[in-house]
Structures are given as C-alpha cells and as structure tokens.
Amino acid sequence: MHRAARIEDWLHFKREHSARKRGYLPTVIPYAGYGSTEWVRILCRVLLAKPVKPGSSLARRHRGADRRETGIRGWRSFTSVPVNDVTVTIEINGSLHRVQADRGGVVDTVVPVTLTPGWHTAKLHTDDTVDPVEAPIFIVAPSVRRGIISDVDDTVMVTTLPRPLLAAWNTFVLDEHARVPTPGMAVFLDRLAAENEGAPVIYLSTGAWNVAPTLTRFLNRNLYPSGALLLTDWGPTHDRWFRSGQDHKRANLRRLALEFPDIRWILIGDDGQHDEAIYGEFQREFPGSVEAVAIRQLSPSEAVLAGRLAKDSTAAPPDPRWVYGPDGSALARHLAEHGLIF
C-alpha cells in the first residue's frame, strides 16, 4: 500500500478511536442508486456521528432542517470521521444482504434483486444503528433506450471548480444556499427526462462523496430531475497520492455502457475541464452507446477562472450529434434541431 494511504489509515484509526470514546456511533449516509429489474447498485457511506437524543436542541434542529438545512457549509462535511471496514446490512424487497464498507467508509456494491421499473427504496443499517435509513433506487425498464448523464461542476452548478483557490472557497466555506445554478440547465434536463420517460438520470462528477448531501439538496431545490450521484473519494489510494477524477469518469461511463448495452446516452458537460476529451474517448470505444453530446461553453471570464483562454476550447467534432451552447436554452434548441427535444 502507498505510504500516503498508510498515513491516511493511521489518521482515520486515531480519529475513529477518539470519536468512539466520546460516544459517537456509526451512521449510514444513503445515496441514490440505480439498477435493472434484476440487480441494483447500492451507494452509501458510513460515518461516526454524535447520537441525537429525543427532545434535545440538536433533534429540534434536525426536525427543522428542511427550512434552512441549518446553514450547512461545505467544510463541515469534510470533518466527519469515516468508519473503516464496517458491515452494512441492505434490506430490499424482503431480502437481506450484508456488505463491507471500504477503507473510506464507502459502500458501492451490486446486489441481485427482482423489482419493477420505477423508484424504490432500500433500507440500510449497521449493527450499531438504531433506525435504518432509506436509499432511493431507480429501476430502469428493459424497454428504455435512452439515458442522461450530466457533469455537475460548471454544467449544472456554477462553481469555477478548476481554479484551486475558488474551489476551496466553494467547497469548504461557501454556504450551500449561495451556490448558483447554471442558467437554463434545470429546465433543459427536466425536458430531456420528461420527453424520454423512464430514462435514468446520472450525475457524474469528480467531486467527493463528502458533498453528496449538499449536491442532492442543491439539485432538488433548483428542480433538477432526480437521479443517482456518482462521486469519488478524495485522498490517496493503495498505489498513488491522489485519485484521478478523469479515470473515475471514464470508469463509470464504461460501466454504464456495459450495464445497459441497449441504452444510448445523452452526455452533458462543459468545455472547462476534460468532458470533451472523455466523452470523445467514450464515443470511440462505445459508438452505439452515445445518442448525443451537449457541451456548455463557458463564458470568457469563466474560461479564465477555469485556467484557460476561451480560444483554447476544443473544436467541435464533425459529428452532428455534438452540440454546443452557453446555457441550457441554447443546448435545448440545438438538440431540438436533431429531434431529441420537441
């Protein structure tokens, strides 16, 4: 194992030991998953959290969280303590499955199940959990032929993420309610989902699992269609200092193409990072899995903040299924010309 990973494991062990001495217990944080009528992909994370006593001020704040979500700032999600190698029990459609969280407390597993198309819930808990939590699961019908995959940063949410200083401000300091939705993108994605009934919606990002609850609330509050979040776990791996966000996107795109070989995906991203290159590679590797590619063009000021000049943008490929536009309205108009939106 890489030395950085060993150091991280040691720090997690010390923090977990200290938190447990203070009475903290494992808490399952559920994420939306997806699957077919024969299997589901379950996603969650196990963290140590202080027990909430009934009637306490903390419990009252939790009950009122929907009004303001207690003004959560991004840095709080990064101070939580992940639980290493804890067992999580998954209850879905009357069957039980016991799986192990990884060294970062993340569960990403596939379990066999028989379910009808549409939204379902899986109940998740650890041996120390008093009440199970529910994770939403979207089951894709065998007849579905289109799906939607969207980037998050600078695509559905303006974050100027590529610039390290602003990325740190947006992630660790900025109140989640101050995050800005990209103009027209919520309507654009909602139209795509409505006109392709039963299509799975996947939000694929290089962001950390720590911010998944924040992103979920942001998407819901700004009326984006419901879908699964596929994020990554920051920090060292067994063989390198930091995980590769680009490899994370490539791996999940390939996985979705193999899991749903009959679905043609509408890929949505921006020209500020590596979406064009990654989507182009995916199209060459799985040409039958791409219905269209919609790329949001950053403004000159956004391009500078992203670390490049606007003129450095990748030229549009000759494939007419690739469309470009500065906002959701322009992208919708271009896709309408190809008959993908009516």
pLDDT, residue 136, reads 97
**Do residue 208 and residue 320 come from a single domain?**
yes
Number of helical (H) and strand (E) elements in the chain, helices listed first: 11, 16
Backbone φ and ψ of 319, nearest 5°: -60, 120
Residue 309 falls inside a structural domain: yes
pLDDT computed for residue 299 by the predictor: 79
The two three-digit tokens of residue 183, written as one number: 């103009």
- Residue 342 domain flag: no
Q: Which domain holds residue 220?
A: 146-337
- Give the tokens for residue 68: 């303001």
Q: Is 109 helix (H, G, I), strand (E, B) or coil?
A: strand
- Greatest alpha-carbon span in the chain: 63
CATH number of the domain that residue 305 is part of:
3.40.50.1000
**Whether residue 31 is found in the same domain as residue 176:** no
pTM score: 0.84
Is 293 in the same domain as 321?
yes
- Report how far residue 299's alpha carbon sits from residue 41's, in angstroms, rounded to the nearest whole number: 37
CB 329, CB 300: distance < 8 Å: no
Spatial distance between the Cα atoms of 84 and 179, rounded to a whole number of angstroms: 32
150 and 43, same domain (yes or no): no
Name residue, tokens 């027209």.
184
Looking at the fold, whether 249 and 264 belong to one and the same domain comes out as yes
pLDDT score for 308: 56
Co-location of 246 and 284 in the same domain: yes
57-92 pLDDT, tens digit per residue, is: 444 444 444 433 334 445 455 557 888 778 999 999
pLDDT for 14 equals 60
Residue 246: its pLDDT value, please?
Answer: 87
Q: What are the backbone angles phi and psi of residue 113, rounded to the nearest 5°?
A: -165, 155
Same domain, 171 and 112: no
pLDDT tens for each residue of 295-320: 999 877 666 555 555 444 445 456 88
| Same-domain pairing of 248 and 111 | no
Do 244 and 151 fall into the same domain?
yes
Q: How many distinct structural domains can be found in the chain?
A: 2
- Could you give the CA distance from residue 149 to residue 200 in angstroms, rounded to a whole number? 8
Pair (93, 188) in one structural domain: no
Residues 155 and 110 in one domain: no
Q: Which residues does the chain have with pLDDT short of 50?
A: 56-73, 75, 236-242, 310-314, 316
Same domain, yes or no: 315 and 170 = yes
Give residue 62's pLDDT. Answer: 45
29 by Cβ neighbours in 10 Å (0-12 / 13-18 / 19+) ranks as buried
